Structure 1
């Protein structure tokens, strides 16, 4: 009797183990639409285990992995090198031997031991062409175009504190235009925003639903919606390549199956699944010249790499600066730029001094690249709060001066 009971208990244990082994859990910052096709293609492979995804923000994924009673996550899938860097530094990721050289080159050097690039994307502008035509407005093609007064009240964008994809887009802009000119562009765009979306894929969905006309997004969030004839997506002319990364978690219960899934993503079938129209990304190996995606992929491959060490160092600065300069004072920005545009229209010439007041930021280019200054934003001290209070006073003073000068022109 005891022997039979032992066999029953052992059978139950083995059944539970098998059932558990039949599921991989992937925590991802991507939308469910962006991962659905990839997973469907994986399920067609021989002996493929079931995959369940947890679609979360970067900070939520970090909390999940730090909770010993939380989900048993096997893989992380994200376009955020910042997230993978933080997880690696906290020993949440396993080493992975990636032998595909074209993939390895796309991974920031500091996380190559654990992280694999499985696809690339680019940044651009998604627009609702029907709504633009109704307003007789041209299709914007650059960051500078998005800052023009004609798009006031029509733009949508997310915040870098809510979206690492948006953070990388903003860093792309800042590293190409320079600190001062980049913020000049961002603050003018801020004055054109209708609202700030809580997630980057929310920007694409809102534009698709007619809740906004235009917004900067990563290509795969746009491409899955382009069956809507009212929508059009165009890459920024100088977009950098934005890799999609994956890594196996340190506490994965099924590291071998997780490794099989990564190898599938790097295989010809996996690369095809990642780069066809349902996923909207590009493979990590060069496409043949006759492929319709080859030209854009080549442009992304040839673009200079982002300065990832700088991005990692100043992530908190960028998040706090954007929210204090734009997110928290969006209504004030909208009012100030509306008043300025009205004054310029009446006078029939630009007002550069007032524009200068509205586009200044309280952090210098030297500070934005100073490791000692940036390090202080990561510490649990009063430095961060002191800086933010000073920034708020700075922006309030600049706006008051601008509005006073506009009033004097009437």
Structure 2
């Protein structure tokens, strides 16, 4: 117990009126992820009453906008979740001298703890049944044989999926990143509401493959021998974040809970650290060096375009799946016989492919400050206008690409 109390000096001691024994934690994680930590905390502090509230980022921010909210702590892997609270000075202060370094775009009142990584989760039984190879990277998922055998969770609802999408956009650039995402979209069977539902669908054999974070993958690997996972090569390590929130009836256990999160015992039970601690053959530092990109994501860029990326994915991929499936199935069939195309048909094919893989928002559009820090809320009039505009433009592009593909196929007997 001494080691847990030793972390208490990390925090400044703000004056709080009538502290309670109730502790309310708001998180974007599934409750099962925090259950072991909550259980440990209750053993250390038996008088505490801990309640975990699970919300996606948008609904969590709505909850925190209420003046009478009773949230004490926020835990998330999404840096954008904390930014509105930082801007509005809604977080309790921490002692700057002792806390761990966080990206400079966040705040000294937001602490990073533990890490997570993402990769591909797959069902070996499903792959064997459908004679599919195990993919080695996300880029493999654009191959025709994965058509409707893959799925992804929505970045609008899953903060870690949003960071996966951002990793693609930052690694390949805005134009090529969306080109890759639209090709993956052409093979998607569905866009799931959460990383949990995606992992569940894979474990049940409803889908073959999907990108998930390791905390879900390891849970299902332990339960099912036919489920496997590999980290995405050279992807970033993603820190978790925790902050204490101002409210009028703060819990007396807030700083104690955060101290537990920062304890060595708790940190070594988190995802990558836990896996490596259980395998003496793997050197942790060597594994991280060989597996992950040492450069972190650009959090300033993430913050600036978070709303844009999430809404754009919803309107141009989630809402267009039937059309994306249709056009990419046609394009793959044409590409398989591309040596039989006439010069004009080849030009039409390239144009159709361009239409099916081009974002309605260009690289030049990104400079327009109207898209910077776009609100997450769908009922915002400006957001609603943009969403309809992007959805309509993408639908028109896909319709034109489908028409061109049919024209090529119908005009070439070798393709029929």
Instruction: Classify the TM-score, shorter chain.
Output: 0.7 to 0.9
What's the counterpart of residue 23 of structure 2? 24
User: What does the per-residue CA deviation read over 1:198-233, in whole Å, with 9 as the maximum and x for residues that have no partner?
Assistant: 112221122112221111111112111111111111
Which among 371, 389, 393 is matched to residue 374 of structure 1? 371
Task: Please give the secondary structure, in 1, of the residue aligned with 2:170.
Answer: helix
Which among 262, 282, 287 is matched to residue 296 of structure 1? 287
What's the counterpart of residue 86 of structure 2? 88
CA contact (8 A) 1:289 1:295 kept: no
Query: Equivalences for 1:227-306 in 2 at 5 Å?
Result: 227=222, 228-251=224-247, 253-254=249-250, 256-273=252-269, 275=270, 280-282=271-273, 293-299=284-290, 303-306=294-297
Length-normalised TM-score, structure 2: 0.83
Distance change in 2, residues 1:42/1:296 (3 Å): farther
Query: Equivalences for 1:135-174 in 2 at 5 Å?
Result: 135-174=130-169
Distance in 1 separating the partners of 2:291 and 2:103:
16
Length-normalised TM-score, structure 1: 0.84
CA contact (8 A) 1:98 1:116 kept: no
CA contact (8 A) 1:123 1:216 kept: yes
What's the counterpart of residue 403 of structure 1? 402
User: What does the per-residue CA deviation read over 1:171-207, in whole Å, with 9 as the maximum and x for residues that have no partner?
Assistant: 0110001111110110011111111111122211221
Task: Please give the secondary structure, in 2, of the residue aligned with 1:282.
Answer: helix
CA contact (8 A) 1:143 1:185 kept: no
Distance in 1 separating the partners of 2:237 and 2:123:
24
User: What does the per-residue CA deviation read over 1:264-305, in whole Å, with 9 as the maximum and x for residues that have no partner?
Assistant: 2211212123x2xxxx2438xx99996554433345775211
Distance in 2 separating the partners of 1:232 and 1:145:
17
What's the counterpart of residue 311 of structure 1? 302
Distance in 2 separating the partners of 1:243 and 1:252:
29
Distance change in 2, residues 1:344/1:124 (3 Å): same
Distance change in 2, residues 1:47/1:100 (3 Å): farther
What's the counterpart of residue 61 of structure 2? 62
Distance in 1 separating the partners of 2:94 and 2:273:
22
Distance in 1 separating the partners of 2:363 and 2:354:
16
Moved more, 286-295 or 261-270: 286-295
Distance change in 2, residues 1:37/1:403 (3 Å): same
CA contact (8 A) 1:141 1:235 kept: no
Distance change in 2, residues 1:270/1:392 (3 Å): closer
Task: Please give the secondary structure, in 2, of the residue aligned with 1:210.
Answer: coil
5+ long unaligned stretches in structure 2: 1-16, 341-345, 410-416
Task: Please give the secondary structure, in 2, of the residue aligned with 1:21.
Answer: coil
1:225 aligns to 2:220 (yes or no) = yes
CA contact (8 A) 1:158 1:166 kept: yes
User: What does the per-residue CA deviation read over 1:351-401, in whole Å, with 9 as the maximum and x for residues that have no partner?
Assistant: 544322210112222332x26242384499865455444433432332232
CA contact (8 A) 1:75 1:252 kept: no
5+ long unaligned stretches in structure 1: 1-16
CA contact (8 A) 1:158 1:198 kept: yes
Distance in 2 separating the partners of 1:266 and 1:310:
27
Distance change in 2, residues 1:219/1:252 (3 Å): farther
1:199 aligns to 2:194 (yes or no) = yes
Report the aligned-residue RMSD: 2.9
What's the counterpart of residue 112 of structure 1? 107
Task: Please give the secondary structure, in 1, of the residue aligned with 2:236.
Answer: coil
